[in-house]
Structure 1
């Protein structure tokens, strides 16, 4: 059984904003204390839609990593790395393309949706068609079992599962598999080996799921098995071949509650963002300039918070008492719109304060961020090499 391991990433497209923080980064910060996590700068993915203008990528890479650290991603807890610095991503993508039906890629829901949304770009490229396969390679390269996604991204995890299943079916039937599995059982020792065989029989003949779980736990607890033997026995347990690539599962994340300055979803394409590390004067100016309920044309006019974009930010940043004060003051014209906006300004600045503090050492000495990313890339490559060793062997490419 593969250990729980989280793989997630972002494309480097510029400085991150508070929508990224509330939608993704807060979740990463929580996950890093619960699982082994790898967080990837997906620079190869950036090329699938921005191949015609690569000027922003390099600066965006370093800005984004500093933003991650500012948000609380801890390099001592999680592995931070750059996708293109681990060439095994490209290799596994190529090898998986040999067995992935074209129709699987064409049916991914976001494929046609993105072509429609980005109609100004020429996306008639294999790179764009194949980006779900590259995503699958990203996950499978680290044998990632958990992929944090929103509901709209679940199909990408599903195609990853299908690709892993197909790969294991095609290449998991290694020559002499049963004989190697029987030899591996002997290595477990007499008592454990006998128990494994009993549990395997109960599962395969009686469909006893508890026996399956017990056998998996037994294998996970057996120390004197090589990685290859362990995976053979997991496959043998269920009547299949050697399990080379795991079937990942989605780790559903709550939808972001972060609205933009105009009330719509915060997005750079809408021009309604506040950056993670934006200057305090700029933050205050942007919020003070936010539109409010059109009914409040004058200070003395009462309003309706539900019709005001500022109210949505109060839902994120204000206490219940402050929200009650806003409702009372707005509906009775007891407070003006500038007064109403001040607690939001204070809330945003309070959230950003530790971000500036965490980012400052890396801004003062850029070699710090480059060194930690270099360490992360080496750690990622170690895991990637293990996977590719097994993949090459399964595909008949392990000869000298």
Structure 2
């Protein structure tokens, strides 16, 4: 964190030098902070705001109830009600009076999800978790596809020109991997990372989270939310989040507000980091970067790929299994959510198959004599 602050301070001095030379001074960035609603009380908000004020990189605008210490800051008073604070925050953002805001428990529209930022414990590396709250789509696999774009947009806004991307080994991971590979083959620039485990691949294990193998980890929001809580509060007993940058900004197609989320259990260090996160996103113009990434993805047939991820309509057709055979050949790489469908797809071709779970994930079992043809059929049916 100190290195980031030093870099930001250096930028400020460079801007001052440019201002002396050109006579033009850019207005200081202002980041709002809604101060009501924390389970830890108002004092954590005060500590975080004072930390930012001492660093003097940008200005904090407090939004919320009247408290004595708020007089030391620009303060927009509201009743002690989060609804009023949210409305005021949105008004200030839309009027351009603040460039971003940090708040608690905000309800984003469907299509928008937040991109978290943590410090991994093994090597102290920063890692983006896409996503942590909200939902990019009501369809899980489609949401994870969009989460990858959201994570890349945030990483690029923070200065990672070519961030590495991995997919957490959760339900849907293999399906999302195929979708992202298709997007890349269609022209969208995507730099896949690789698991540090012996078998590699872009599907990440728990070890990869601890070491920060990739810059961006793609997962569903519910899993991402749990990860954020573990990374933030694992050394405090869970009641006080002490590490990381909060649950991050809401990002999505055509969404432009820089609203970053913290938890009601976020402590002063996390709130201060979240304010700095919002500042860096404002500085890097997250809305513009996000639009650029989505424009590129749309040009790479994003909508067609999204359509392919829609949940298939169930049919009443009953598939009867062929005569049972000894199955010793394993076919891996099929998503666990599609495993039974893949079995029945082979049954329709009169190939006996069974589903199973290997040490590295789900597998489909066939007789050795059918392995090659079964593999080709599964590729044709888009299960591999």
Structure 2 length-normalised TM: 0.23
Q: Rg bigger for which structure?
A: 1
Indicate the structure whose relative CO is greater, using CA pairs within 8 Å and at least 6 residues apart. 1
Q: Which structure: greater helix fraction?
A: 1
Structure 1 length-normalised TM: 0.22
